[in-house]
Structure 1
Amino acid sequence: MITDDPNRRPFGVRFFAGAFVAPLIYFAEYKPVTVSRDAGFSHAPDALSALAESILAEARKQGATSAEVDVSESVGQSVTVRLGEVETIEYNRDKGVALTVYSGLRKGHASTSDFSPAALAQTVSAALAIARNTAEDSASGLADPARLATAFPDLDLYHPWDLPVEAAIELARTAESAAMAVDARIRNSEGGSVSAHIGQSVYANSHGFVGVNRSSRQSIAATVIAQQDEAMQRDYWYSMARAAADLEDAASIGRRAGERTVARLNARRVKTGDYPILFDASLATGLISHFVSAASGGSLYRKASFLLDALGKPVFSPLVQIVEDPFVPRGFGSSSFDAEGVACVRRDIVTDGVLNGWFLGSYSARKLGLQSTGNAGGNHNLIVTPTAGDLTDMLQRLGTGLYVTELLGQGVNGITGDYSRGAAGFWVENGQIAWPVEEITIAGNLKEMYQSIVAIGSDVETRGSKRVGSILIERMTVAGE
């Protein structure tokens, strides 16, 4: 959960440099921890908590002025079936410790997957060696103790799926066969897949904070390929949820994958011009992600954001309302505390198009002379209020223009807001899908695109931390033929 290290993985030992500072309070002796199994885990939550406290005690013993640690474990199973035959069966069981220590205003980081006392002591030593040889940074330090979470409501995030591998294989076969049965032109497959994962982590710091997270993630997917003459098209569909009971039916997932694939056959380009653009809900989440990136502390204090000085000003069309709600039951962005232990709060991020707040962790907040917003680690559930009906209604509102269902490339400039992406989708006439489109580019500027939002659909995407329906933008440039 320590997010200053995006490359952290629970394998081996890695070292990073930086800086933070805070007073030190310790309460655990460094000692081996007896662990017990629980729902597939090798450690019970209280054992991970005791291990985290022991690591903090070792950091103090070796001379750290403060420290924070994340101890995590995950267990998963994934099955892929292709053309009815089992292609892969994967099991994973990972664990890791990510430790950050502070020596005054200097910071060092190290991680390990070895939980033995000797290895943990060596990890502490390595982190301190880095801290003592890095530059001081006055913005560094643990989170403000007054802002740490004290309430931990049950957000219903943990639902282990008791799924034997044989049953997972049959579900994957069901999804794939349903997709293949949609149309005779579906002649190949990239497979049906089923995955079940659980994870737990403990974040603790030397202010005395200890927070436990447990969560699950289950999914079913299908991807197939259709061919007509020499042209081939590929598409997919998937369902993902915290609990298996919330997943779409495997056959329904497959049928939707097949229908989406066949619908793309006979695609062609459109004439170059300026047209209304309707972003499918699955792509509209990307538009919100670009906003989050530009409104986040790292981009702001580096002055690498097109939203500099935008606080309190209109950023979106007046019809846009965005709420951050960390407490959505079973939400993929739900948590009572962030990656530094800071309490999460429900906030109105955008009201009538006006930007009300940034996304800040402690470090970026100090660089900007502000307070953490509880967003170390990123945004929590962002809920964009619909202003219109379902996809059928949104197509009617589009009238004649482009419905985009796939984006290609990474042509987004976070500093200027310039936006240029390869795209595919459907040409719409009089509110009805006319024919599929491919090999085009759509372009604009995010500042203008946000201001030009004319409708937000009720077909809300829930498979992530951004909950938003399809978004209709008044006009963008399309480069075609």
Structure 2
Amino acid sequence: MQNDSKALPGFSYSRAFFEELVDTALAHAKKLGATDAGAEASEGSGLSVSVRKGELETVERNRDKSLGVTVYLGQRRGNASTSDFSRAAIEQTVQAAYDIARFTAEDPVAGLPDEADVATEQRDLDLFHPWPITSEQAAELALACEHAALAVDKRITNSEGAGVSAQQSHFFSAHTHGFRGGYASSRHSLSVAPIAGKGNDMQRDYWYSSERNARDLAAPEAVGRYAAERALSRLKSRKIGTRQCPVLFESPLAAGLLGSLTQALSGGALYRKTSFLVDSLGKPVLPKHIDVLEDPFIIGGKGSSPFDEEGVRVQARKVVDAGRVAGYFLSTYSARKLGMRTTGNAGGSHNLTLRSRLTRAGDDLDEMLRKLGTGLFVIELMGQGVNYVTGDYSRGASGFWVENGRIAYPVQEITIAGNLRDMFKGIQAVGADAYTYGSKTVGSVLIDRMTVAGN
């Protein structure tokens, strides 16, 4: 097949070519006798550059392409993919998906989305901003970022390096229940990880900036300076004794708590009964002052999309309303398993915001530390100690011990533990220091009581 139409900047293939590719696959599936079928063509490209201690370390360019085909024979499903866009390869891939479906057991809830749920319009959400940066320019940015970190203080003694990444992709997808759509998107980033101190008192930290449009990235000097200040603040860290106390999660870490809530309310975990929030719809799981909002239509948002991965329409909604679960995160399949209707979340959530009705404009980090009083302010978590079946939570942590609302000293080599059910209900306050981490936006979060294990 020939790619005759003009491709978008930085891509080898055009939207028109992808449409032809997908239509060829669907037509062949029908010819073989498929009941239904879907196909998606995609392409991605990017540049990643890393430096360390003033020297260029790596330059990586990535370019990939794929055609994925799903075939249904009644309620039997088969899937196959290829990176070869020739007609012969397309037909072989469709045949492979068809053969898999023939020998797969029937699944009573398998199938494409209901036609009534399929998106029929596609908003332009301003997701594509190609960054025509050269490897030399990327290296200059990374070096400037690292240099800014090293120049902050003589106690910044080393670096794990700095990096610049420019990534973009586009796709077109269609299926036989009436969906046709696709779009291009981009994501670019700049990061650095300086090391402070010497010998037994060495501390590392990092900072980064990530945006769809490179013009919105923070200045490399600002990223480097802030990363260095974070590393310096952790010097002379102490251990503390085991106790129970309030814990304040820094806003990027609070986004992880929101991620845990999302996981527990996701269809796959719910129908498999591997979530501690099974049958929680309409029930209080957070305090009355907490709402969680989902908005797929934020212009340029990292979680924005005009439809989900199945071509189902998406909508802005409240997931948690005054502490009560107002909705789950469901794909077509998980919704059918639960006897419910898809929420347009095949592929995950879209732009979540956790907010408190008690938050005031002046509730910055200093005010949140005052509300914490005496307790632990956490700025780094380690390990994957979350059991979603029981809600048990245990993570390695470091941060600062706070007394009378003021940071007293840095702490390290501790573990914080609790149960997510209690932690969610124990949220006392959410800061106005809102930070967007990926597609989740939340301020610092104060939890009334957790176990802190130290010496």
Under TM normalisation by the shorter chain, which class is it? over 0.9
Equivalent residue for 2:115, pick from 145, 157, 177:
145
Q: Does 1:267 align with 2:267?
A: no
Give the structure-1-normalised TM-score: 0.92
Equivalent residue for 2:200, pick from 227, 230, 239:
230
Structure 2 partner of 1:404: 378
Equivalent-residue separation in structure 2 for 1:177 and 1:428 (angstroms)? 32
Q: Does 1:72 align with 2:42?
A: yes
Question: Does the aligned pair in 2 maintain the 1:33–1:50 contact within 8 Å?
Answer: no
Out of 35-44 and 307-316, give the one that drifted further: 35-44
Equivalent residue for 2:366, pick from 386, 392, 395:
392
Superposed displacement of residue 141, structure 1: 0.4
Structure 2 partner of 1:479: 453
Q: Does 1:318 align with 2:288?
A: yes
The letter for the 2-side match of 1:304 is: T
Output the aligned Cα RMSD: 1.2
Equivalent-residue separation in structure 2 for 1:109 and 1:404 (angstroms)? 44
Out of 442-451 and 261-270, give the one that drifted further: 261-270
Q: Does 1:213 align with 2:183?
A: yes
What 5-or-longer segments of structure 1 have no aligned partner? 1-30
Structure 1 partner of 2:390: 416
Q: Does 1:430 align with 2:400?
A: no
Equivalent-residue separation in structure 1 for 2:437 and 2:446 (angstroms)? 20
1:40-79 → structure 2 map (5 Å cutoff): 40-79=10-49
The letter for the 1-side match of 2:351 is: N
Give the structure-2-normalised TM-score: 0.97
Out of 448-457 and 36-45, give the one that drifted further: 36-45
Superposed displacement of residue 120, structure 1: 1.3
Superposed displacement of residue 32, structure 1: 5.6
Equivalent-residue separation in structure 1 for 2:410 and 2:29 (angstroms)? 60
Superposed displacement of residue 392, structure 1: 1.5
Superposed displacement of residue 129, structure 1: 1.1
Assess, with a 3 A threshold, how the Cα gap between structure 1 residues 461 and 154 changes in structure 2: closer, same or farther.
Answer: same
The letter for the 2-side match of 1:233 is: Q
Q: State the identity as a percent.
A: 54
Equivalent-residue separation in structure 2 for 1:311 and 1:444 (angstroms)? 23
Equivalent residue for 1:115, pick from 63, 85, 89:
85
SS in 1 for 2:270: helix
Superposed displacement of residue 432, structure 1: 1.4
Equivalent residue for 1:457, pick from 404, 409, 431:
431
Equivalent-residue separation in structure 1 for 2:34 and 2:2 (angstroms)? 21
Structure 2 partner of 1:442: 416
Structure 1 partner of 2:136: 166
Structure 2 partner of 1:353: 323
What 5-or-longer segments of structure 2 have no aligned partner? none
Question: Does the aligned pair in 1 maintain the 2:3–2:13 contact within 8 Å?
Answer: no
Assess, with a 3 A threshold, how the Cα gap between structure 1 residues 406 and 433 changes in structure 2: closer, same or farther.
Answer: same
Structure 1 partner of 2:126: 156
SS in 2 for 1:329: coil
The letter for the 1-side match of 2:90 is: L
Superposed displacement of residue 351, structure 1: 1.0
Deviations 1:204-246 (A, max 9, x none): 1112311112111011111111223432111100000011121
Q: What count of residue pairs does the alignment treat as equivalent?
A: 451
Equivalent-residue separation in structure 2 for 1:348 and 1:383 (angstroms)? 10
SS in 2 for 1:314: coil
Deviations 1:353-396 (A, max 9, x none): 01101100000111111100000001101111252412111111
Question: Does the aligned pair in 1 maintain the 2:396–2:413 contact within 8 Å?
Answer: yes
Structure 2 partner of 1:9: none
Equivalent-residue separation in structure 1 for 2:125 and 2:155 (angstroms)? 45
SS in 1 for 2:435: coil
Equivalent-residue separation in structure 2 for 1:46 and 1:463 (angstroms)? 34
Equivalent-residue separation in structure 2 for 1:334 and 1:80 (angstroms)? 29
Question: Does the aligned pair in 2 maintain the 1:35–1:42 contact within 8 Å?
Answer: no
Superposed displacement of residue 119, structure 1: 1.2
Equivalent-residue separation in structure 1 for 2:12 and 2:2 (angstroms)? 15
Question: Does the aligned pair in 2 maintain the 1:295–1:307 contact within 8 Å?
Answer: yes
Equivalent residue for 1:246, pick from 216, 221, 241:
216
The letter for the 2-side match of 1:472 is: L
Deviations 1:277-331 (A, max 9, x none): 0011111111111111111111111111101111101110111111100001111
Equivalent-residue separation in structure 1 for 2:264 and 2:199 (angstroms)? 45
Question: Does the aligned pair in 2 maintain the 1:322–1:383 contact within 8 Å?
Answer: yes
Question: Does the aligned pair in 1 maintain the 2:3–2:14 contact within 8 Å?
Answer: no
